[in-house]
Amino acid sequence: MKKVIVLIVLIVLLVFIVVVSFRIRKDIKKKLQYENTYAIQNVETGNALRPLNANYESGVEIISYPLKNWECITWEMIEIDTNTYLLKDLFTEKTFQPKSGPKSGVGLWQQSLGGTILQYWEFLKETDNTYLIRLKGTELYITTISDKIDSPIILMPKQGKKSQLWKLVRQTPWI
C-alpha cells in the first residue's frame, strides 16, 4: 500500500513539474520578446528605478537600486503621445505617480495602471542619449537624492544636475 501511495505522489509531482516547466518556458520566451523594455538608470549614481523590495502592493515607494537585469527594475514604455509614456514595471505590472499632488519634493509611489495624467512621463532627450523625465503638464522632473540603495526618488524643478539625468538601458529579463 505504501508503494502505491509513493508512486501516486511521484506521478502527481512529475505532472506538476511538467506543467510548471512548460509554463515557465512559455513565460520566459514571452518576456524575451518584449520590446520597449528598459531599466531607467540615473547618470550620477548608476542606480535604477525600482519599487521598494520589489513589492506588488500599491503605495510602495519608488527607490534607487543598483542596476540588475531583473523584471522589478525593468519598465515597459507604453507610448501615450510623442515622447510621453506610461511606464509599466514588468514584475509588478504597475506604474508610479507622485504620492500627492505634483509639487516639489514629493516622492513617487507604485500604483495600478491608468486613470490619471499623473502617470504620464515625458522623456526629454539631452546629449549623449540621456533624458530628463518630466511629469506631463508640470515642470517637475524625476530626481534622485542619494547614491544609497533604497533611497527615495522625488520630483523637483529643473536643476541642471546629473541627479536628474537618466539613461535607458535595454533589458529583456526573465527573472
The verdict on residue 126 lying in a domain is: yes
CA angle centred on 110, ends 29 and 49, rounded to 5°: 65
**CATH code: domain of residue 165:** 2.80.10.50
User: What pTM value is reported for the model?
Assistant: 0.83
pLDDT at 20 over 70: no
The verdict on residue 175 lying in a domain is: no
Domain with 80 in it: 36-170
What is the total count of domains within the chain?
2
CA dist., res. 37 & res. 3, Å (int)? 50
- What mean pLDDT do residues 77-102 have? 96
The verdict on residue 78 lying in a domain is: yes
Q: How high does pLDDT run on average in the chain?
A: 91
In terms of Cα–Cα distance, which of 144, 84, 91 is closest to 120? 84
- What mean pLDDT do residues 102-119 have? 95
Both 54 and 119 in one domain: the answer is: yes
β-pairing, 120-125 vs 75-81, is unpaired
pLDDT range class, residue 12, cuts 50, 70, 90: confident
Both 13 and 65 in one domain: the answer is: no
Q: What is the pLDDT of residue 115?
A: 78
- Write the pLDDT tens digit of every residue in 25-59: 656 555 656 679 999 999 999 999 999 999 999 99
Q: What does the DSSP 8-state code read for residue 152? A: B
In terms of Cα–Cα distance, which of 152, 151, 132, 150 is closest to 142? 132
Q: What is the pLDDT of residue 11?
A: 86
Both 59 and 73 in one domain: the answer is: yes
Both 56 and 18 in one domain: the answer is: no
pLDDT range class, residue 174, cuts 50, 70, 90: confident
